Amino acid sequence: MAAPLLNGLALLLALGFHRNRAVLVLAILTVVSCALGGLVASEGERGVDAARMFAPWLLLAAAALPERSLLARRNLVLLLVLAVAAWLTLSAPPHVWPGLRTALPFGALPWRAGSVAAALTFLAAVLCLLRWVLIGAPMEAGLGIVLTLAGCALLPVLQADAVRTALSLAALCSIGAVLYASYRMAFVDALSGLPNRRALDETLARLSGEFAVAMVDVDHFKQFNDTHGHDAGDKVLQAVARELRRTRPARAFRYGGEEFCLLFTGARVRDAAPACEDARSRIEQMRVRVKGSDKRRAKTNPRQPLAVKVTASLGLATRDNYTRYPSDVVKAADQALYKAKAKGRNRVVAR
């Protein structure tokens, strides 16, 4: 009974967080867990047969579909096929069912139906894991793990208790994947991979004691975008984020646009100024290879990669008797950043 309940809970979470491909996968797995758990009122082993006949194809289709609105036509077709499969399981005439069981999932193959069903489900898992490797979406990794466990549950060698355990684990992984992916959407910047401004605000709200904030701005970034294009600008921001992430002992955040933030807490505050200078120097020395979209080179070889460089200005402020609240420290760091820009950029100014 645990597997259907856990899969149903995971399905509700996916619906609530608008993870539509996960909704399709979990809707199928919820029905499968009911069938394999004996909760479907059907003749003999029809529920188990149906899970092995229909579920692998539906899971493979759900894994192959791109993320779209839940009411997109392809998603609705998949849900309709799931409903038809459930109806056939419950209501197909006795003379029809043996023919279906012989034909599906691959009646022409000499292997047992459970082995073929598991193989198709493992293939669906591979599709999700490949998408994770290509685009780095955590939800895809979660779905890959979930489908791997579902494939294990469909293996003919597993006993009923092991099948239920595998489906329960799949449901728990689904819950964790949906919650983690939603957390990343709320608190992690998609471009840079750094915690975003919301994460910074919540971190500052919990701070006490001594801390310092450094505001970081990529110099002349609008001009860089106009010259090299926004794709090149995105690569530069990712490169700057990597360098800031390496800054010890600070925690880096994406503040917005071309602005970042470094946060120093506790005893680490005394190292803030040299750490900021080290970050500025590393950004100045780095080279980022981008496509040759520079308008001045457009007539020669626009596809030739360019090794571009950027610099950054930093404003540093430390909590003291005049700036006791986090918002005051951030404002003071912003003012120090403006001074760094006014003095010629590519420098650190501490308030």
Taking the C-alpha atoms of residue 259 and residue 189, their distance in angstroms, rounded to an integer, is: 12
Co-location of 12 and 158 in the same domain? yes
Co-location of 31 and 153 in the same domain? yes
Co-location of 98 and 208 in the same domain? no
Co-location of 39 and 167 in the same domain? yes
Co-location of 48 and 69 in the same domain? yes
Q: What is the CA radius of gyration of the chain?
A: 27
User: What is the domain extent for residue 23?
Assistant: 2-186
Q: What is the pTM of this model?
A: 0.77
Would you state the pLDDT for residue 34? 87
Co-location of 219 and 145 in the same domain? no
Please give, one letter per residue, the 3-state secondary structure of the chain: CHHHHHHHHHHHHHHHCCCHHHHHHHHHHHHHHHHHCCCCCCCCCHHHHHHHHHHHHHHHHHHHCCCCCCCCHHHHHHHHHHHHHHHHHHHCCCCCHHHHHHHCCCCCCCCCHHHHHHHHHHHHHHHHHHHHHHHCCHHHHHHHHHHHHHHHHHCCCCCHHHHHHHHHHHHHHHHHHHHHHHHHHHHECCCCCCECHHHHHHHHHCCCCCEEEEEEEECCHHHHHHHHCHHHHHHHHHHHHHHHHCCCCCEEEEEECCEEEEEEEHHHHHHHHHHHHHHHHHHHHCCEEECCCCHHHCCCCCCCCEEECCCEEEEEEECCCCCCCHHHHHHHHHHHHHHHHHCCCCCEEEC
CA proximity to 291, closest of 218, 242, 237, 233: 233
Position 12 in a domain:
yes
pLDDT in tens, 273-324: 999 999 999 999 999 988 755 555 545 555 567 888 999 999 999 998 888 8
Co-location of 307 and 286 in the same domain? yes
Position 192 in a domain:
no
β-bridge mates for residue 261, sequence order: 215, 253
Cβ atoms 275, 264 nearer than 8 A: yes
What six digits make up the tokens of 266? Answer: 């506790």
Position 180 in a domain:
yes
Of 138, 159, 186, at which residue does a domain stop? 186
Of 162, 186, 210, at which residue does a domain stop? 186
pLDDT in tens, 110-127: 677 888 899 999 999 999
Co-location of 148 and 285 in the same domain? no
Position 191 in a domain:
no
CATH code of residue 335? 3.30.70.270
Residues whose CB falls within 8 Å of the CB of residue 1, separated by 6 or more in sequence, listed in order: 37, 39
Of 131, 160, 186, at which residue does a domain stop? 186
Q: Find which of 2-6, 105-109, 240-244, 266-270 is predicted with most confidence, using mean pLDDT.
A: 240-244
pLDDT in tens, 1-14: 688 899 999 999 99
| Average pLDDT, rounded, for the chain | 89
